A = this chain, B = another copy of it.
Amino acid sequence: MSEKIKTLLEALPYIKKFFGTTFVIKYGGAAMEEEHLKKEFAKDVALLKYVGINPVVVHGGGPKIGRLLKELKIPTKFVDGLRVTDKKTLEVVEMVLSGSINKEIVKNINDMGGKAIGLSGKDGRLLVARKMEGKDIGLVGEIVNVDIAIIKDINRHGYIPVIAPLADGVDGNSYNINADTAAGSIAKALSAEKLILLTDVEGVLDKEEKLLSSLKKSEIDTLVKNKIISGGMIPKVDCCLDALEGGVKETHIIDGKIPHAILLEIFTDSGIGTKITGGA
């Protein structure tokens, strides 16, 4: 029995270190799909709040959106492999993100003893966006303003904000926002201690496919040039670098398929994914 308590006490230095800070967590992928991972994630987030950390969850959409589009027989056009979000599609996206996934996450956290509040980026004009430049893929936006007043209020009153990545458009439309980008922007606006991206891969790997558990900003360039970081990992890494430049202290890319990935990354010295920090 005493083992249990010893373990609890091993967390003390980490708790002390992060007491009073803010973590923005991009939640998505397998961790948002599999039932047991969902519960474990919710428990992790509730625990963080109780030990004095302010978690802010930003979630993505996942396969649920595609399923509903299909069931509703809304055809999907593609431009260069990217789905075009027309008005009808956006309606579905919004219903799934804000009405289904968001509220499920809220309920899970509440069931685990936390007090979560689900928001969309449209609430309190938290996120304001304009149409993304470049290819025309419809109502997909890029953020032009973040108003964190509501997040700070919610944090201060003991709640955990859970945010769906939708935004009010400067042109009167609503926009869908890439969830990583939304999380990064919110982390910057909050001067967060950490931005944590939950993904479906281990983290950043070296050329022998071994996990790199810690990287400096300056090391990233070389890895990209040598194509060791490539494909889908590039936007993830860019999101982290952007956050670091915007004042976030540390960023993490971790594997959401590992149960309690967040706590493992934070409450152990080695961590389980890749930590990217500023400096050379």
List chain A positions with a Cβ less than 8 A from chain B.
Answer: 1-13, 15-16, 19, 43-44, 46-47, 50-52, 71-72, 91, 94-100, 102-103, 106-107, 110-113, 115-120, 122-125, 149-150, 153-154, 157, 159, 166, 168, 172, 174, 258-260, 263-264, 267-268, 272
Q: A125-B115, A157-B153 are in contact. Are A260 and B5 (CB under 8 A)?
A: yes
Q: A91-B100, A172-B111, A264-B2 are in contact. Are A118 and B116 (CB under 8 A)?
A: no
Q: Is the interface of A mostly helix, strand, loop or mixed?
A: helix
Q: A5-B263, A91-B100, A95-B100 are in contact. Are A150 and B46 (CB under 8 A)?
A: no
Copies of chain A in the complex:
6
Q: Which residue of B lies closest to A169 (CB)?
A: B107
Task: Say yes or no: A107 contacts B16, CB within 8 Å.
Answer: no
Which residues of the other chain, B, contact A174 by a CB distance below 8 angstroms?
Answer: 103, 107
Task: Say yes or no: B98 contacts A102, CB within 8 Å.
Answer: yes
Could you list 7 further interchain pairs (A-B, Cβ under 8 angstroms) beyond the known A98-B102, A153-B154? A16-B46, A72-B72, A95-B99, A98-B98, A99-B99, A106-B123, A107-B174
